[in-house]
Structure 1
């Protein structure tokens, strides 16, 4: 186990309408920023951020929404590390009549579009989903060529890519990107467990994925839904860092909705400390991840 374990909070995610189930899921930039600060106060060193249309609550790629969230967090004076998503722009569903065409609800976008907010806002970290996989209603498409283009643009902006892998083959592809020099410096991996239809959230699967990573890599892990807290314990025991949040799980216990991201972070802190480790501060997380100094 790590002496100091980083906790990340994934605040809102990109699912269509989770706030219909749990109204604590933040929607507006003000709500997302407020959740970020609350999660940090509870023990999170990193906040992982998607944005939503304030009117509809649906996931968005609008640059102005990212700008407002990041501005609000930075204006507060918080030292929490900001991790922006680059996942939106990879959703594909074939048209029902002509499968050679994308359906109207597909969101495929160019590499440049998917990272425009990264280049402008320069967060500490951003996700890079090394994954092409099936979701129940669509395919999530990230081809190696586009991943390499995005990785280059991200790193040119001075931002650290977090390599999100959902299955063993994704971990293999991400490792090859490190070995071929596409990912520079000390790599950071996120093992995403229990997402349909990728690797189930089991100890055996997390161990296999961890063992596929290059030597010396920093990694974290999380599980969705009922897998969330078991995977916190599993990642910590196996030498990784952890993630929780309303993006991944809406409940604090079976049948009991979480009151917010802070409550989920507090439970992760309890697990980490019960296992004998300490929770990393943002400054300690910056050192562990070998990030540039805070401005």
Structure 2
């Protein structure tokens, strides 16, 4: 067990959840307010996607990220900002003609997924460490070794900490390869993403195996979806890792009771403290993760 456990709140994601819960934040103002509420509830880190305000669908629009981050920074509430850099990897294929990208495809190269990171210089940004069949149908998430190496080098040059998103064991293998190549700085930060069809299943034995595969000195967290969310808080903390909760991964506080992000953070804090650990503050999280302190609170290199 870890003495200081970092709680991350994944606020909104890009999935089709807006119509399923009125609590899923959509506008920059709503996302920023949820970030502040999650921080006040005990989250040291907020993981941020943005959404098109009209459609509610996930977006790569830099202006939306800018507004969210500015509102969080202007709030005066201290929290570590983690921006997704995973948007732009979606490929939908026509089953009858797989040479043609179908509607819904948003596929760009590794560097084109980073303009908001380049402008806003968050503490952390994600790096999805491989391709995967994404649910049923003909959707794939595409992140090739060439894309990943290009993205990792750019993130390293910016002085931003990459959170290595791992959806299966082969992706963990490749992330370790990038570390060995020197394009991921120490200490590395892993997020073990489990229960997402069709990557790593939400199996405690597999989590234990993946933790055993991590390089020495790595920081890590894990999460799972839906009703497994709080179980994974306990699993992660018991194995010495950090935790992630939030409406990106789970909409419910209990059966039939829809949650807010702050309520999920409060529940996670209760689980962690009930296990005898301390919930890390933002400053403690920065120390644990080895975050680049050359970025001031306004996101400008000093």
Report the CA distance shift for 1:6/1:88 in structure 2 as closer, same or farther (over 3 A).
Answer: same
What is the root-mean-square deviation of aligned Cα atoms in Å?
1.0
Where does residue 290 of structure 1 map in the other structure?
Answer: 290
SS at match of 1:232: helix
Q: Deviations over 1:199-239 (max 9, x none)?
A: 11121011111111111100011111111011100000000
Question: For the residues of structure 2 that align with 1:24 and 1:214, how far apart are their CA atoms?
Answer: 38
SS at match of 1:161: strand
Q: Deviations over 1:157-213 (max 9, x none)?
A: 110000010111111111111122121121000011111111111210111111111
Contact 1:96 1:103 in 2 (8 A): no
Aligned-pair CA distance for 1:96? 4.6
SS at match of 2:175: helix
SS at match of 2:72: helix
Question: For the residues of structure 2 that align with 1:152 and 1:101, how far apart are their CA atoms?
Answer: 31
What TM-score results when the alignment is normalised by the length of structure 2?
A: 0.95
Q: Deviations over 1:26-80 (max 9, x none)?
A: 0000000000000000000000000000111111111100000000001112220
Where does residue 22 of structure 1 map in the other structure?
Answer: 21
Where does residue 277 of structure 1 map in the other structure?
Answer: 277
Where does residue 236 of structure 2 map in the other structure?
Answer: 235
Where does residue 152 of structure 1 map in the other structure?
Answer: 153
Mean Cα deviation higher: 81-90 or 176-185? 176-185
What TM-score results when the alignment is normalised by the length of structure 1?
A: 0.97
SS at match of 1:74: helix
Question: For the residues of structure 1 that align with 2:205 and 2:255, how far apart are their CA atoms?
Answer: 24
Where does residue 62 of structure 2 map in the other structure?
Answer: 63
Contact 1:251 1:257 in 2 (8 A): yes
Question: For the residues of structure 2 that align with 1:5 and 1:149, how far apart are their CA atoms?
Answer: 31
Deviation above 4 Å: which 4+ runs of structure 1? none
Q: Map of 1:25-36 to 2, 5 A cutoff?
A: 25-36=24-35
5+ residue gaps in structure 2? Answer: 297-302
SS at match of 2:101: coil
SS at match of 2:100: coil
Contact 2:125 2:163 in 1 (8 A): yes
Where does residue 184 of structure 1 map in the other structure?
Answer: 185
Question: For the residues of structure 2 that align with 1:99 and 1:223, how far apart are their CA atoms?
Answer: 31
Contact 2:130 2:145 in 1 (8 A): no
Q: Map of 1:1-295 to 2, 5 A cutoff?
A: 1-16=1-16, 18-135=17-134, 136-137=136-137, 138-258=139-259, 260-293=260-293, 295=296
Question: For the residues of structure 1 that align with 2:18 and 2:118, how far apart are their CA atoms?
Answer: 30
Aligned-pair CA distance for 1:2? 0.9
5+ residue gaps in structure 1? Answer: none
